[in-house]
Chain A
Amino acid sequence: NAGVTQTPKFRVLKTGQSMTLLCAQDMNHEYMYWYRQDPGMGLRLIHYSVGEGTTAKGEVPDGYNVSRLKKQNFLLGLESAAPSQTSVYFCASSYVAGGRNTGELFFGEGSRLTVL
């Protein structure tokens, strides 16, 4: 099992460019998440999904869009990148047990994005 895989691992963008980060998990997990990690700010939740075809906003959703067309994939899009979106992005997934989200997160390796 690969677990949670993120692509690309590194990317440099110019202000105003767009891009998509792909997250794929092979554990058949229902929940998927996108976090950003900034120095001194810890991990902040951008968007999450409770299942295929559903998405919801987290703490810091502005400037990002997401889609979950397939259960195993969760895409994070930046339509018009800004320097404030320079960060390390982590995808994660979790499973349901007893009809409830366990919240046990499995993380990808992270994607470092720099916006110039």
Chain B
Amino acid sequence: GIQVEQSPPDLILQEGANSTLRCNFSDSVNNLQWFHQNPWGQLINLFYIPSGTKQNGRLSATTVATERYSLLYISSSQTTDSGVYFCAVVGTDSWGKLQFGAGTQVVVTP
């Protein structure tokens, strides 16, 4: 099956800093999503981005499908950005099952 690797595994940021999270995948995809799991355990859908660039407030994401990676940018980080960020993909030969990466644990300190 398709492999999904996220980096870095852990990230500590000071409030106000910018950061980039990376997701590499091993095969062609029909879908790629970024999720944020907050410290209370809720999984929040950030972006549905099989290709191209999207922005939502301080967050933006870019997927370069031909090179098999996606980037999530967090600008002017806030303590509420803390949590785990997951990348998940659907391979082109899949019925729609999402394959999740292991996640990036982000801690934003005041």
Contacts and interface: CB of A to CB of B under 8 A. Distances in A.
What 4 A-B pairs are tightest by C-beta distance, nearest first? A101-B96, A103-B90, A107-B43, A103-B96
A48 B94 CA distance: 14
B102 A105 contact: no
Given A101-B96, A105-B45, A106-B45, A42 B30 contact: no
Given A31-B96, A42-B102, A48-B97, A105 B88 contact: yes
Given A102-B31, A103-B30, A105-B33, A110 B100 contact: no
Contacts of B30: 100, 102-103
B43 A103 contact: no
Interface string B71-85: 000000000000000
A62 interface: no
Given A42-B100, A102-B96, A110 B33 contact: no
Interface of B: 30-31, 33, 35, 41-45, 48, 86, 88, 90, 94-98, 100-103
B40 to A, nearest CB: 9
Interface of A: 31, 42-43, 45, 48, 50, 58, 88, 90, 94, 100-107, 109-110, 112
A114 B90 CA distance: 31
Given A42-B103, A103-B31, A110 B43 contact: yes
B32 to A, nearest CB: 9
Contact of A90 (B43, B45, B101, B103): B43
Interface SS of A by simple majority: strand
A105 B47 CA distance: 10
Contacts of B44: 107
B100 A103 contact: no
A103 B98 contact: yes
A103 B92 CA distance: 11
Nearest to A42: B100
Contact of A101 (B33, B95, B100, B102): B95
Given A104-B31, A104-B48, A105-B33, A94 B96 contact: yes
Contacts of B100: 42-43
